[in-house]
Amino acid sequence: MKQHEREYFISRIRSGIYNLNIENKLVTIKTPTIEDEYFINEKFKEGYERCLEDGIKTEDDVLDWMRTRELWTDKDDEREEGLVKDIDNLKKRIYENRHRFNLREQIRRGIRAGEKQLSEILEKKTKYLNNSCEGIANIGKVAEFFKRCTYINNEPCNLDDLKIELISNHYYKALLLEKSIRELARNEPWRSVWVLRDSGAYSLFSNQDRQLSPDQKSLLIWSRMYDNVHESPDCPSEEVINDDDMLDGWFSIQAGKRKDAIMESEVESKLSNSKIANAQEVFLMADNKQDAENINQMNTHQAKMIKKQRFNQLQKKGEMDQNQFQDERLKMGQRSHEQFRDKFRR
């Protein structure tokens, strides 16, 4: 994005309005007031309750119906979850290989391919949701928003002259993608405005008597995020900060470190009993599936590998003694080697 483009989008975002050319008419969309927002959400509530009374399915019901028709299956759930994890892992890899240009760009192509596949499967998942209670109620909510917030020549727009669908298409196309918001948040002219926000010399937005626009909310969120990145003791290089994929990988790695630290603290708390503190293996009881997953996360990477190895051995042989496991046999071999070596040292 060039400097003049950034200046344009920042000025538009700060104004809180969207000027749209629709059928040769200058249409202005403003953000709602708090009162407007109340009536807009009330319209959704009324529409949703009316749909329930008419026996229309909710989004959850529609998804269940899709499962009965095999329009959405457990394999689709697994594929969606797998794609999310794959994209996250690829972003970690692109950060870890940030100095290897060819490999880095190869990983980036993998990320784009994964995002495309995820978009396709989410489109499949949401294909019928417009016919749900939530989908129908949202149509009424959007109509109420444009009824209250659309103007032509500073006069409320007569929606009989312009179709809501037409206004809606233009408006949602005007909203910026996250990638563009992130670029705006970390560059001029916004950075200077953001830095001076508490000086009294600048007000961030001119629509202070109204609610924030979607772009304003996103810009504030990402401005805070970039502040947190720069304040982090592990702050990455500017090259990483300016690369969305690599920075996402850094975010994911940092989140993993925080999670590991929390888990380690929980382990120390659970193992504070002196009788088990020095034990090689400790068995903890889980009350539910989530608790079991949390306990499993407390294992080190090596411990997880041993668990997987033992599970595979048990599947093959059915029943085994403790000293028959491969990892135990390795330990015994190491102890014998150490004893033999110590014998000749004396």
Residue 332, pLDDT > 70, answer: no
For residues 3 and 177, what is the distance between their CA atoms, to the nearest angstrom?
18
Higher pLDDT, residue 274 or 146: 146
Residue 134 has pLDDT above 80, yes or no: yes
β-sheet bridge partners, residue 18: 29
First to last CA, the chain: 74
Residue 106: name the closest of 94, 117, 116 by CA.
Answer: 94
Predicted confidence (pLDDT) per residue in 58-78, tens digit:
999 999 999 999 999 999 999
Is the confidence at residue 121, as pLDDT, over 90? yes
For the stretch 10-44, pLDDT in tens is 999 999 999 999 988 899 999 999 999 999 999 99
pLDDT number for residue 162 = 79
- pTM of the prediction? 0.79
> Domain spans of the chain?
32-71+128-174, 299-346
Q: What is the pLDDT of residue 222?
A: 98
Cα 133 to Cα 60: distance, rounded to the nearest angstrom? 10
Beta bridge partners of 30: 17
Q: Which one-letter DSSP state was computed for residue 322?
A: G
Q: What is the pLDDT of residue 49?
A: 98
Confidence band for 200, pLDDT divided at 50, 70 and 90: confident
